[in-house]
Structure formats: structure tokens, C-alpha cells
Amino acid sequence: MRHLWELCLLLLLLLASQGQGVKALPTAHLNQSCRLTAAESATEPACSPELNLRHIQLLKRYMRPELDACQDFYAYACGNWRSVHKMGESAMSLSGARIDQRYVELFERLLHVPRSTEHSLPLYGKLLRYYHSCRALGKPRLRRYLEQLPHIGGSHWADLLAVLGRYGYHEHYVKIEVSQHNASQHMIVVMPHNYYLNLSLSGSIYNALRRHTHGQLPSLKQLTEQFKQLEQTLQELAQPPSGSSDEDTVSTYTLEQLQQELPGLNWTHVLHLQLGAIYPGSYQLLADDLPALRQLIGYLNRADARLLQLYSWARFLQHLMQLPHNPLSDPQPSFSASSATSCVQHMRKTLYLAMNFAYERNYYGKQRQADEHVIFGVFEELKQQFAQQLRLNTLGLNATLLDALLDKVQGLRINVGNLPRNVSDQFYEECVQHWRVGNDFYENHLNSLLHYYDHLAELERTEDAALRQVWFSFNHHGPELLDNIDATPYFYCLGSIIIMPYAYMQLPLYESQFWPALLYGDLANTLGHEMLHSIDTYFVDYDAQGEMRDYSDQLVLNKNYLKAVNCLNDSEHVMLNERIADISGTRLALNTYMKDPLERRHNGRLYFVQFAQFFCGEEADIYHDTGSKRLNYALAQMPEFAEVFNCAPGTPMNPVSRCSFW
């Protein structure tokens, strides 16, 4: 009897846990409406139940519904993620890897099918040659980079520096760089030696120098010592004196003024050499810390020219090797599948526009129209809701500041994918016209850098308003941009624009045919998060045109604002601006989507489980906490979550007190 009773109990338990598994995401009363069936798009296909149900099955695979969602929602929604995916894999990293794979397939197909239509476009021919030169790479031969540099008469430190600057390298001695200034302008910036970065003279860099100088070099040990002393002197000259205030020392100067202030360099000559144009004396540029620049230039003009030259070459090589996804830094650059992927990753960084054009044309273009219909629709709803919330003015801001923030919210833009909108194929053809690609990887790499930075310099001085507008309608990434900045959607403060990269626009995070709970579960939360970044503690100071204002100085005078910030800032480890975007972005998405109690009852659980997907595999990085911490903290702040999962008051996901912010 006893055994039978135990068996019954076991069966009951099994049934109960299975039953709970099914009940975890009930589908019987789900809202199956579809944004694409709106009147204006009656010809579009209806949302596919198969696709949605298949996705819900996938969500269930990651869940551990036997756990208590009110104790730890991350464990409940993502508890099985690690048994399905490897360490380090998140929804976004898997998505990025799928895109890499598509590029590999595309290039391999084109290499094997010479009659493909793509071959008629010069852009594809260049991409293929580049890919081929990368695949053919053998052992690294760093001196090849130095051999490609143009010969300049003489050995003045500033001339070589200007030449290296053409390839986007400008970190030591005196830094001359073109960078984006606001939503419609680039500027030339002159800065002192960056003493945060140093040279680590590796054996391979030393060997490249030795070959390049035909053996005319001190020993590795001696040279390392000489470089160290040089760096020490440069740091002393560039570092502000201790005790000086850390106020902003950047100012605008005309070229003429700069020449008067810093006569140790011929600025017209140096700018011409680096940026390829003769700038008039009235030209305006930015310069930082003139006293430090003056001291540095004075010292460099007197120092050993040969040592300065060697140091520049070594730093340049180190910089090239440290660029994200340089395949030469890959331990096994041989003919292998991994090499194909590393070449594609390298090309995605280095040939941003051309690579994204190919992706748009071969893959993304087919879904763009449907995506824009849905994403712009949700974005507009969120914007209206955001403005409505701000107008309630719960913090009691003064009218001028409130208006400025409202302007900013109304002015937010969005870019779907990684290219400018509405430009013709002609635009891309012209863009790549002067980009030279041959058979040698080293030459190709340098020429591509040259192409990118030449373009930046031209963009800075062009008067063509239409062209400027195109280039400022998206974020044209530089080759040095780190993956973790652009792999997921992000808010770009200078352009006041939200970028939704291709990697986001696919399952499991997004699909234009998602039912509302799935669609808003991630898309509205992601957009909400990025929109809130526009007024988080870091970015609030930029206005809609990307100009710096003093909004945060005004905000900290407001007691309610300070109270709200302090409530979220509960330990020194909090990434405050991310937490603000998480909490207020989640609130904004909820307010936009879940007003109706019936919607909450029937679709609430699915909405929150879909929301969890982004966080399931996310580990902490320098900008973000772990996915589990972010997800649980954000949802514990939402009483709607506790309502949907019937969490008793005082449980971790239904705390007694909450913070409120925007």
C-alpha cells in the first residue's frame, strides 16, 4: 500500500509540474492580432500562428516553470538557457554570429559562381577581393604595413605623425583628429599626447622594426628602456599639474590663432599632410590645453628624431594589431572555417558601409518594409506616451526645462538597420569609387582605413547640405569601434538617434509578425530603454541637435529629482544611467502596451517572459550589470508584474517599497 501511495504521489507531482509547465504560458486567450493587418497594409500576410506558437515553444525550452517567478524571475524565465546554449552566448551574440555566417555563405557562393548578378556591381568585386586576400593570409608579417606607408621627405616627427593620422591613428605626441561634434557637424580637434595609452613593445613589433631598418636598431631591451623614458617625459609634459581643476580646457580657435599660440609647428602644412586640404587662416577648429601642447611641441622639436620615428612606427603597428577583429591577431590565420568567420568579422568593422550594403541587398532588404511599418508604429506610440508622462511633470520641473526635455523627446529619431535611409545605389557606387582593393591584405587593410578617414575629413569640410544630411542620418562606424558598443540597439547622443542594428531584427528578439505580447515584450522595452537614455544622467545634457546644454546642472537643483536618483543609486556598484534606462524604459513600455486589465491577465506572462529573452545569456560588462540583476531589479519595480504572477507582498519580486522616476 505504502509503495502504491508513494507512486500515486509521484504521478500527481509529475502531472502537477507538467500542468504548471503548460500553464506557465497559456495560449488559449492570447491576443493574436497583428500590426501588419492594419488597413493600409491589407495586402500584407496575416501574422502567422505557426511562427508565434513555435516561438512560444522556444521560450518554454529556456524556462524553469517549476520555480517561483516571485522569488527570482530570471531563474524562472531563463533557468534553462545555459543548458541549451554555451557560456558567453546571449540572444544578441547568437544573432551576430548568424549574420557572420550569412556573409561567409554569400562570399563563398560568389567565389564559386562567377555568373552571379552581384559580380556586375564594383562594390561586390572589391569586397570579394578583400575577402580573398584575407583568407589567403599566412603568418603575420607586420613590416608589410610599414612598407606600404608613403615616403615623406625628411624625418620630422610631425610629418610622420600626420601620415599615420591619415590611417586614423593619432594617440601619441600631438593628437589631430576629425570627430563628430553634434548632429550635423564634424570638427578638427587638436589634443596633447594621450598618456593613458602606452607601448608594449612585443617581439613581433620589434622584429618588424628591425627588418624595416635593415637591422639598424638597439637591442629589444635597450629600445624598450628608451621608449619608457620617452613616455615618461611625454606624460610629464602632457599631464595637467596636480591640484589643477579638471574643468573643460577645450576651446575654439582659428587656424591663424593656433599658429600664433603654437608657433613650433607649421599647422597649415601638418593639416594638409594629414587631411589632404589647405585650410584658410580663418578656419575654426578645437584645441585642448594649449600650455601642454606648447610644452610637448617644444620638447619634440629638440628630441632625437630617430627615436621619435621608431616610437611612432611601433605605436602604429600596435594600434593596427589592436583594432577590433584584425585577423593577424587571430592565433590561427590559415585556410580554415574559423578564418572565414574572422575575415568577415574584420570586414564588418573595417568596411562598414560596403558590408552593410551587401547585407541589405542580399538579406535584410526583403523584410525592411514590413519591419519599418511595425517598428516606426511602436516607436511613435512610445514617443507619445513618453511626452504624455513628461507633461504630468511629477518631479515639478520648471517650465523651460520641461519644454527643453519635451523637445528632445519629440526630436528623437530612429534608424532601422545600419545604413542611411532612402539613398540610391548610385550613392554607394560613388562612396566606394576611390576605395582601392588589390591582392595583398596589408595593402588592402591600410587602403580601407585611408578610405574611411579621408571620407571623415571630407565630411568635415563639405558645404553640401544634402550630403551632410545623409551622413548624419545614421551612425557611420569607425574601424576602431568596439563590438560591445554597437552589437545591440543603442542611443547615439550626438545625433539624438536610436540605432536598431541588423543583429536585433531577427528571432528570438523581434519578428514583424509577432503577436502583441511578443512584439511589445521585447521591441517596446528595447525602444523604451534607448529612449530613456536620451534623458539619463549621462546623456541628458545633449539637446536634440546634439549640442551640450546645462540640463543636469538644473536638474540637480530639484529635490524630487535627487530623491529619485538616490533611490535607484542604492550601492556604489550600480551603473546608474543603465538602471534609469531599465526602470523608466520598462515603465514606459508597460504604460504603452498594458493599460487594459484583460490584456494583462491573458498576455501578461508571455509579455514578461519575452522581455526576459534579451537578458537570459547576458553577462556583466563595463557598462552593464548581469542580465539576472537587471531583469529582476527592473521587474520588481513594476506592480503589474506582481499582479500578473500573483506575487505576495514582500516577496523579492513584489517589494514593499519601490522607486519612481521618469
Identify which of residues 415 and 448 has a Cβ nearer to Zn ion in the complex: 415
Residue 176 CA to residue 193 CA, distance in Å, equals 10
Q: Cis before residue 508, ω within 30 degrees of 0?
A: yes
Identify which of residues 333 and 617 has a Cβ nearer to Zn ion in the complex: 617
Task: State the nearest-atom distance from the C-beta of 81 to Zn ion, in Å.
Answer: 21
Identify which of residues 337 and 622 has a Cβ nearer to Zn ion in the complex: 622
Identify which of residues 330 and 578 has a Cβ nearer to Zn ion in the complex: 578
Q: What are the two backbone dihedrals, phi and then psi, of residue 192, each rounded to the nearest 5 degrees?
A: -70, 160
In the complex, residue closest to Zn ion by CB: 581
Task: State the nearest-atom distance from the C-beta of 489 to Zn ion, in Å.
Answer: 9
Identify which of residues 159 and 582 has a Cβ nearer to Zn ion in the complex: 582
Residue 251 CA to residue 291 CA, distance in Å, equals 13
Residue 326 CA to residue 333 CA, distance in Å, equals 10
Task: State the nearest-atom distance from the C-beta of 391 to Zn ion, in Å.
Answer: 24
Task: State the nearest-atom distance from the C-beta of 490 to Zn ion, in Å.
Answer: 7
State how far Cα 349 lies from the chain centre.
11
542: which DSSP letter?
A: B
State the binding string over 547-586 for Zn ion (x if CB under 5 A, else -): -------------------------------x--x-----
Identify which of residues 578 and 640 has a Cβ nearer to Zn ion in the complex: 578
Q: Give residue 206's identity as a one-letter amino acid code.
A: Y
Q: What three-state secondary structure class fits 286?
A: strand
Per rule CB under 5 A, count of chain residues that contact Zn ion: 2
Identify which of residues 593 and 614 has a Cβ nearer to Zn ion in the complex: 614
Identify which of residues 289 and 578 has a Cβ nearer to Zn ion in the complex: 578
Ranges within 579-618 binding Zn ion (CB under 5 A): 581
State the binding string over 123-162 for Zn ion (x if CB under 5 A, else -): ----------------------------------------
| Cβ–Cβ < 8 Å for 609, 25 | yes
Task: State the nearest-atom distance from the C-beta of 293 to Zn ion, in Å.
Answer: 35
Residue 150 CA to residue 159 CA, distance in Å, equals 11
Identify which of residues 522 and 578 has a Cβ nearer to Zn ion in the complex: 578
Task: State the nearest-atom distance from the C-beta of 86 to Zn ion, in Å.
Answer: 25
CA distances from 205 to 36, 186, 224, 225 (A): 57, 34, 11, 15
Task: State the nearest-atom distance from the C-beta of 575 to Zn ion, in Å.
Answer: 9
Task: State the nearest-atom distance from the C-beta of 49 to Zn ion, in Å.
Answer: 33
Q: What three-state secondary structure class fits 519?
A: helix
State the binding string over 178-217 for Zn ion (x if CB under 5 A, else -): ----------------------------------------
46: which DSSP letter?
A: P
Ranges within 34-63 binding Zn ion (CB under 5 A): none
Q: What are the two backbone dihedrals, phi and then psi, of residue 254, each rounded to the nearest 5 degrees?
A: -85, 160
Among 182, 90, 121, 73, smallest CA distance to 494 is for 182
CA distances from 534 to 312, 386, 545, 557, 578 (A): 39, 12, 12, 20, 11
Identify which of residues 287 and 532 has a Cβ nearer to Zn ion in the complex: 532
Task: State the nearest-atom distance from the C-beta of 126 to Zn ion, in Å.
Answer: 35
Helix (H) or strand (E) holding 252: strand 250-254
Task: State the nearest-atom distance from the C-beta of 194 to Zn ion, in Å.
Answer: 27
For residue 155, with 0-12 CB atoms within 10 Å meaning exposed, 13-18 middle and 19 or more buried, which class applies? Answer: exposed
Task: State the nearest-atom distance from the C-beta of 107 to Zn ion, in Å.
Answer: 33
Residue 249 contacts by C-beta under 8 Å, 6 or more apart in sequence? Answer: 240, 288, 289
Identify which of residues 275 and 581 has a Cβ nearer to Zn ion in the complex: 581
Q: In terms of DSSP H, where are the helices of 501-596?
A: 516-519, 525-533, 551-555, 559-568, 576-593
State how far Cα 192 lies from the chain centre.
27
92 binds Zn ion (CB under 5 A): no
Task: State the nearest-atom distance from the C-beta of 533 to Zn ion, in Å.
Answer: 6
CA distances from 503 to 97, 317, 382 (A): 9, 31, 22
Beta bridge partners of 254: 284
Identify which of residues 310 and 500 has a Cβ nearer to Zn ion in the complex: 500
Residues of this chain that interact with Zn ion (CB under 5 A) are: 578, 581
